[in-house]
Amino acid sequence: MNKRTLVEFITGWILIAIGAIICILPIFGVMNVRLIFILIISLYGIVHLIKNILILSFKEYSGFSTSLSSLLILILLLFLDITEPWNLALLLFIWIILMSLTKLKESDYYHDRKNKLWELNVVNLVLFIIAGIITTLNLYYTSDIQILVLGFFFLINGILDLMDPLVAFIINKKDEFTPKKDGKNKKVK
């Protein structure tokens, strides 16, 4: 597994863990939606910023774009009261739009390099948008349900982020052995 795939794989698992932790917070009586939303967006931006710094040599900058999107939402949080479900849904929807543009650019990056992962990224983009719209439409309940819905959304988002390095690893493992003309496999470095 190369460095980029490993870093993206670890990042995906961290995002899944964040989503899972958010899902269980209502069990412990944590009901502050504003604080949890700030934590989710902040952690998401920080994790992607660290990921992008670690894989800077691969010249892929989607992590910076993700961090900027998260920073913009944190700035908007200063002006909007998200105890109102409408404002929470609006901020999440804006973040989903910004993230969709980032994911679309990442798909274009793979497509330009003739990498088959662009098809997976487009599918992930569509699933991300569908999950985001469903989440946005379900934020009009009590704070414990809002936290649970946000937790599930970020859990699904972590799973979608994990798919890219997982498939890249499988493809690279498959391509590691190339058939020779004499029918024997040769390991390629």
Q: Over range 63-82, report the average pLDDT.
A: 89
Instruction: Please tell me the distance from the alpha carbon of residue 56 to that of residue 167, in angstroms, as a whole number.
Output: 21
pTM, full prediction: 0.82
Greatest Cα pair distance, the chain, in angstroms, is 69
| pLDDT band at residue 61 under the 50/70/90 scheme | confident
Residue keyed to tokens 């998200």: 82
Cα 154 to its chain centre, rounded Å, is 8
Express each pLDDT in 84-131 by its tens digit: 888 889 999 999 999 999 888 888 877 888 877 888 889 999 999 999
pLDDT of residue 56: 81
| Residue 11: its H or E element | helix 3-24
Percentage, residues of the chain above pLDDT 70:
92
Percentage, residues of the chain above pLDDT 90:
42
- Two structure tokens written together for 104: 């679309």
Residue 182 has pLDDT above 80, yes or no: no
Residue 189 has pLDDT above 80, yes or no: no
pLDDT of residue 107: 84
Instruction: Please tell me the distance from the alpha carbon of residue 10 to that of residue 14, in angstroms, as a whole number.
Output: 6
Express each pLDDT in 129-149 by its tens digit: 999 999 998 888 888 888 999
Q: Over range 11-39, report the average pLDDT.
A: 91
pLDDT mean across residues, the chain = 85
**Positions of E strands within the chain:** 177-179, 185-187
Radius of gyration of the chain from its Cα atoms, rounded to whole angstroms:
19
Residue 188 has pLDDT above 90, yes or no: no
Instruction: Please tell me the distance from the alpha carbon of residue 167 to that of residue 124, in angstroms, as a whole number.
Output: 12
The backbone torsions φ and ψ at residue 50, rounded to the nearest 5 degrees and listed phi first, read: -60, -45
Residue 1 has pLDDT above 80, yes or no: no
The set of residues, in sequence order, having a beta carbon less than 8 Å from that of 35 and lying 6+ positions away, is none
Q: Residue 95: which of 62, 61, 66 has the closest Cα?
A: 66
How does 99-114 read in b/e, with b if 16+ C-beta sit within 10 Å? bbebbeebbebbeeee
